[in-house]
Structure formats: C-alpha cells, structure tokens
Amino acid sequence: MVYEVLARKWRPQIFQDVVGQEHITQTLMNAVKEDRIAHAYLFGGARGVGKTSVARVFAKAINCRSGEPGTPCNTCPSCMEITSGSAMDVQEIDGASNRGIEEIRELRENIKYMPTSGRYRVYIIDEVHMLTLPAFNALLKTLEEPPSHVKFIFATTDPHKVPVTILSRCQRYDFKRIPPQNLVLQLEKICRKEGFEISRTGLAVIAAKAEGSMRDAESLLDQVISFTGRKVEDADIADILGIMDRELIAETSLAVIEGSSPKCLEIVDRIYNYGYDTREFYRSLMDQFRNLAVSLIDPENQTLEMSDADRKELRRQAEMAGLERLQQYLNLLIAREEDLRMTSHPRLVLETILIRLSRLGSLLSFEDILHKLELLEKRFTEGAVACRTENGPAEVSESPGRYAAPESGPAQKENRNWEGFLDYVSSKSIPFANVLRNWRLVGLQPDLVELAKGDNTFSATYLDDPERKKRLIEYCSEYFGKEMQIRVVAGEKAAPPLQSPGKNGLKAAVDLPGPIQDVLEIFKGEIQGDLHGKEKK
C-alpha cells in the first residue's frame, strides 16, 4: 500500500473540515443553498491556508446531487471523481506551467462543451497571477459573458499581480493565515486519530514554525514522526526542525534583563558549539521579547501558545524588566537586525548586540537624567555652599550675576526683554530655561507672551503639563512686574529663535541635547572643540 502523506490524507472534504476560514466557507455554503453561484471566484492568501482545497469542496458542492445543499455527500460518483482528481468536469490547471495565450485559447474552445455528468464544468486555475498579460486579455471576454454551465475559480498567493480587469469580473475572497491555536487543535486531532504521542508544547512549536499554514504544519508533523516514531519528545522536535530550544531563548532573555554580560557571551559560545544558525536565534530572541511585552499588555493573548510553566516564567521576566525597558530591547533588536544579516562576522555582531542589550538596564532614561539635574541645580541655588579646607570651615556664597533676580527699579522694568527673561528663569531653574531656549518667541505684548513650540520633541511637549505652564506664567508675572498670559501659536508663525552666541558661543549656536546644556550651565563649562572634533581655533 502506497503511503499517503498527512497533508493529503487530511485534506478537507467538506466545508466544515476547513480550519480558520469560516468567513469564506459559510458564505460559499449559503451561496450554494440559495443558488446564488457566481461565474468566477478569486481566492487569495498565503500558501497552505486552504485555497485549492476550498475550491475542490466548492466544485463538489455545486455538482453533488445526493447531499444536502451546500454540503457534498462524498459518496456519489461526482464527488468521488472530484476527490480522486479524475473528474472530467473539474479541471485543475497550473497557472505557472500553462501561462501562455495558446493554453488560454485552448481553454476557451473546451468551455463550449456541456458537462458530462454534473451540473457545471469547473476550471480551477492555481497561481493565476503567473499568466502572461496576453493570456489574461484572452480571458476577459470569457469572464464577462461566460457560458451558464462554466464556473471559474482562480487561486493565487499574489492577488495584487492579477490585472484589475480580471479582479473586477470575479468575487474575491481573501484567506487568512490560520491562528496558532487553531493549528494546534487540528494537529492534536490528527495525532489522536493516527496514534501519535506528542505534547501540546511540541505541537505549539510546530504551529509556530508553520507560520499560519495548515499544509506546512501537517508536513512538519509528518517529518517529525518519520524521525522519532510515534512517540515524540520536545527535544526531538527542536533537533529535526532546527528550531531554537525555548529554554535557551528564555535563558538569554533572563541574562539580558538581569544585565549579565558574561552570561550573554557564554550563551553565544553555546550557540556556536551547538551549530545553531545565529540569524534563526536572533529571530527567536525577537519573538521572545515581543512575547514578554505582550504578556504585560495582554496576559490572556491567544498568540502566546505555551505551557502554564512557560507562561509563568514569561510573566516573571516581563515584570522584572517592565514595559519601557522591553520596548527599548525591541527597538535595539529591530535596529540591529540588518547588521547581523549583512555581516561576515555574525558571532562578533551578535555578541555586541547582546552586551548592548544587557547594559540598557543600567542606562538612565532622559527623564531620569533631567530629574537628577533639577535636583542638582536646586542644591546650587538654595543658598551658600559650605566648603571645608585645611584651615577650617568656610562658606562660599554665589556671587550675584547672570542668575541673580532682576532689580525692581522703574528704569529696569522698561528695558526688560525676552533675553532678560530667559536669564531670570535661569536663576530660578536652569533646566526650565534650557527648555524655553528651544522655543521661539512670536510676540511680546504688554500683558501677553506668544510662543511657538521648538523642534525638539521633549521641549515641544514640555508645557503640555499644566503645572509647568502655571510655573512659566508665574515667572513672567514676577519678571515683568504684572499679570502676564501665555499663548502658544502654530510653529510656522514663529520667528527665528531669539538666542545669539555669547561667550560660550558654540554651545548656544548648536542645538545640544538638554542634559548636556544643563551640565554646562550648572558647572559654567564650555565646549572646547567643534562638531567635527577639530580643535578650537
């Protein structure tokens, strides 16, 4: 007896057998029941999701005379012939090898003949996008006014390559990738019927490798059974399919989260000793951090197909890292993926990436840096700073100058301007003043200050906080000696920033990051070189 592979043996024979495409099968069943059968259909979708299988079932349903409407009986001569592929009324044509205009002309000649036993002649053209443009043009007239006894079913993995003139003459159905949980359920059913012993975790690994394709999942299961026999261990699946061990991936993510760079280097060494593909490992690691983020956002997400123990460990690691750090990990992994793909030294690049990932947790975020600078600035401006010398304690108080509060004399008020106001704010809060220097002054009226947001993303959203805006109004009122209001206008109305280089001209002229500006302000520092690293002349 000739062995029949699982993908063919378990091919759907009725609409109810089709997995994950209920939105299509239900529509086609209703169309057959109500005798609303179109003359042409186009089935689009990824490989192995059921396009040609549904086309066959549909051909049986419209030609079956024994079963219930919409459900083929699979026992009448017509159904049995279609199932075996010997039906004269149902022709399956490979669009890749019969793509020329001569083949289409021959098809046009054959459709004139009436069906031999069924109600309709059905032409199933697989990979129809492979037809040449002249061949498509030859089909146009036939599709527009087809004989009543002919039905066309086109299947393709690239619907966008089919000419619009063809699409407009067909009913289009888009097949979805089959969800992993549906694949696992179907594989469990097959294993039960065939007498295979395999864990749900192992089936989940096969489903993930299949990437939404039922045919691929069944072929992978067939491959695993051929290697191990009827009893399959999880480790065997990883060996035969070249899939990364989940424990190794989980160990790597934990080392990254804990900031253990030596552990990361040890894992890379093990990957090379085991002979794993570094790119496959990298993709698995990206999936792991994606799953960590999903477990925090939606713990019950159905795409996290794994055992309870794995789910618990995933949740534990996710809570250790936090969502913000997980996003940083993913951003870095995505940004460096191309480097690993193009390099001739994958081990070196992988080690560099993992070390960088493990060090991310020790780096302060921008908000943390700004908060620390504000605390440091507050300590400098609270008053005198005590200094201890060898001769005894002494106090050094900050001398009045740029950061001293403005005098309140009448003559002084008349000459107050935006630059003076920025100096005044600097005496109150250097980080706050640095943010304002990234904004643009639009207008300065007796009781109104009009500002436009700067280009810096952080600065542009700084005054969205009501407390900060209230603080700015207080500074304006104190400086100008009367009640002032703040109005934020559109950026395109803004004048150039009212900031000119002074003593520390290079620092003022260059749009430096906020934390660097804050450090320069607090410690009265200067930049000793230009942007290109040349010595300052």
**Residues 81, 84, 90, 94: what is their CA dihedral angle, to the nearest 10 degrees?**
-170
Q: Which pLDDT band, with edges at 50, 70 and 90, does 303 fall under? A: low
pLDDT band at 265 (very low <50, low <70, confident <90, very high): very high
CATH number at residue 450: 3.30.300.180
- At residue 436 the predicted structure's pLDDT band, cuts being 50, 70 and 90, is confident
Single residue among 290, 325, 360 that ends a domain in this structure: 360
Look over the chain and give the mean of its residue pLDDT values, rounded to a whole number.
80
The pLDDT assigned to 309 comes to 78
Q: Any idea what the CATH number is for the domain that residue 337 is in?
A: 1.20.272.10
Cβ neighbourhood burial of 490 (10 Å; 0-12, 13-18, 19+): exposed
Domain match, 50 and 112 both: yes
pLDDT of residue 506: 40
Last residue of a domain, one of 125, 143, 174: 174
For residue 220, the one-letter residue type is L
532: tokens are 């290109």
Residue 387 maps to a domain:
no
Which CATH number is 42's domain given? 3.40.50.300
373, 364 Cβ separation under 8 angstroms: no
Are both 69 and 137 inside the same structural domain? yes
Q: Do residues 266 and 348 share a domain?
A: yes
Position 367 in a domain: no
Alpha-carbon span 88 to 122, nearest angstrom: 9
Sign of CA dihedral 251, 255, 256, 261: negative
Judge if pTM exceeds 0.75. Answer: no
Q: Is 405 inside any structural domain?
A: no
Whether 448 maps to a domain, the answer reads yes
The three-class DSSP label of residue 198 is coil
Q: Name which of 135-149, 202-216, 379-393 the model is least confident about.
A: 379-393
Residue 498 domain boundaries: 410-522
Inform me whether the pLDDT recorded for 502 exceeds 90: no
Element (H, E) at 452: strand 448-452
Q: Are residues 129 and 228 in the same domain?
A: no
* Residues 109 and 136 both lie in one domain: yes
Q: Is residue 20 part of a domain?
A: yes
Residue 57 domain-assigned (yes or no): yes
Q: Convert the pLDDT of each residue in 36-87 to its tens digit.
A: 999 999 999 999 999 999 999 999 999 988 878 888 998 888 889 898 888 8
| pLDDT tens per residue across span 164-173 | 999 999 999 9
Q: Residue 419: name the closest of 481, 498, 485 by CA.
A: 498
Same domain, yes or no: 444 and 477:
yes
CATH of the domain at 212: 1.10.8.60
Same domain, yes or no: 224 and 165: no
Give the integer Cα–Cα distance in Å for 100 and 397. Answer: 91
Q: Which position has the higher pLDDT, 267 or 404?
A: 267
Interatomic CA distance for residues 53 and 63, integer angstroms: 16
One domain, residues 227 and 267: no
- Judgement on whether residues 299 and 319 belong to the same structural domain of the protein: yes
The answer as to whether 477 is a domain residue is: yes
Q: Does 409 score more than 70 pLDDT?
A: no
Number of domains in the chain: 4
The confidence score (pLDDT) of residue 434 equals 78
Examine residue 97 and state whether it is found in any structural domain, yes or no. Answer: yes
| Residue 508 confidence class, pLDDT cut points 50, 70, 90 | very low
